[in-house]
Amino acid sequence: MQQKIKKAVFPVAGLGTRFLPATKAMPKEMLTIVDRPVIQLAVDEAREAGIEHFVFVTGRNKGVIEDHFDKQFELEETLRARGKTEQLKLLEAERPSAGQTSFTRQQEPLGLGHAVWCARELIGPEPFALLLPDVLIHARPGCLKQMISTYEEKGGNVIAVEEVPPDQVSNYGVVGVSEQAGSSFTINTMVEKPKPEDAPSNLIITGRYILQPEIFHHIANQDPGSGGEIQITDAMKGLMAEQPFHALKFDGTTYDCGNKIGYLMANVAYGLEREDLGDEFRTALNAMLDDV
C-alpha cells in the first residue's frame, strides 16, 4: 500500500511575457479556456485525482489567483439574493474548502526546481504531485488520476511522458527508458533541453509529476543547469540514483498554453466539446473556415 498523494504543487510565478499585453496586469494562469481560467483546469485535474491540499508557488502580481480560489462573499450573496442558483452552484462546486489552499512566493526567478523547493515546508515529509498549469492535458480520466494508478501499483516517482518529433526535443526535459512494455516503464536517465543529437529518446516530460519528498534534498544541493536555472529535471536525475522513476505514457491530448497556438487550439477543442456551446460553435467555425 503506497502513501496516499494528498498535496499538489502548482508553480505559478512565471511572468507570462509571451502573452503581453494581456499579462501586463493579470497573471497568465488566469487566461481562460472558454470560461475557465487555465489554473482552474489544473486544480480540477488534481481534485479529480484525490488531491486534498493545493499549494501555489506565486510571485508578485499574482494575488488574483488567491482571490479566485477564495469565497467571493459579496458576489455569492448577490447571486443568492437574485435567485441565480445555477451560477451559485457553479462557484460553490469548484471552490476549495477553507484551509485546503496554501500560497507561498518564489521571490526570485531561479528556475522550476527552485519554485518547487519553495513549497518544501508546506509539503513536509510526504510524496506529492506537481502540475505545471501551462500544460493543459485533455484526458479522461485526467492525466494525474492515470498517474496515481501507476503510483499505487509501482510506488516511487512517476512522470507523465509523451512522444514528440525528434526536432522538438530540445524544448523539453527528455527521459531515457530501459524497456517499453505497455504504457508505463522504468526511466534510466533524463536530461533537460538536450540538443537533438544528445537526447536519449523522443519521450518528453509533459508537466505532471509524482515525487517523493527526498527530491527537496536534491534541489537544495542542485547547481544551476539549462538556462542558468535550478532545474527539477537535474534534481530528479540525482534522486534517480536512490529511488525508482516510472514514466507513464498517458492517454490524452496536450495543449501547451504557454504558447499562443497551443492556447488558441485549447480554446477551440474545449469549446467544441461543450454541451451548451459545441454545436453552435462548430457551425460558426465551419462557416468562418469556408470564408478564408
Which residues would be at the binding site for ligand G1P (CB under 6 A)? 112, 132, 135, 172-173, 192, 204-205, 207, 231-233
Rounded to a whole number of angstroms, the minimum distance from the CB of residue 5 to ligand G1P is 20
Cβ nearer to ligand G1P, comparing 79 with 111 = 111
Least distance in angstroms from the C-beta of 207 to ligand G1P = 4
Give the number of other Cβ atoms within 10 Å of residue 202's Cβ: 17
CB of 223 to ligand G1P, least distance (A): 15
In the complex, minimum distance from the CB of residue 92 to ligand G1P, in angstroms, rounded to a whole number = 32
Q: Please choose, from the candidates 228, 256, 17, 239, the residue with its C-alpha nearest in 3D space to the C-alpha of residue 112.
A: 228
Nearer residue to ligand G1P within complex by CB, 27 or 79: 27
Neighbour-count burial for 208-246, b at 16+ CB within 10 Å, e otherwise = bbbbbeebbebbeebeebeeebbbbbbbbbebbeeeebb
In the bound state with ligand G1P, the residue whose beta carbon lies nearer, of 49 and 204, is: 204
Distance CA 191, CA 270 (A): 32
Taking a C-beta distance cutoff of 8 angstroms, is the pair 139, 49 a contact? no
Between 13 and 204, name the residue whose CB sits nearer to ligand G1P.
204
Residue type, 254: T
How far apart, in whole angstroms, are the C-alpha atoms of residue 159 and residue 289?
38
| Position with the least CB separation from ligand G1P | 173
Nearer to ligand G1P, 135 or 148 (CB): 135
CB of 127 to ligand G1P, least distance (A): 19
Q: How far is the CB of 288 from ligand G1P (least distance, A)?
A: 30
CB of 228 to ligand G1P, least distance (A): 13
* Residue 65 or 256 with smaller CB distance to ligand G1P: 256
Q: Please, which residues have CB within 8 angstroms of residue 262's CB and are 6 or more apart in sequence? A: 136, 255, 256
Closer CB to ligand G1P, residue 5 or residue 132? 132
Report d(CA 77, CA 72) in Å as an integer. 9
CA distance 230 to 112: 7
> Which candidate, 190, 228, 234, places its Cα nearest to that of 215?
234
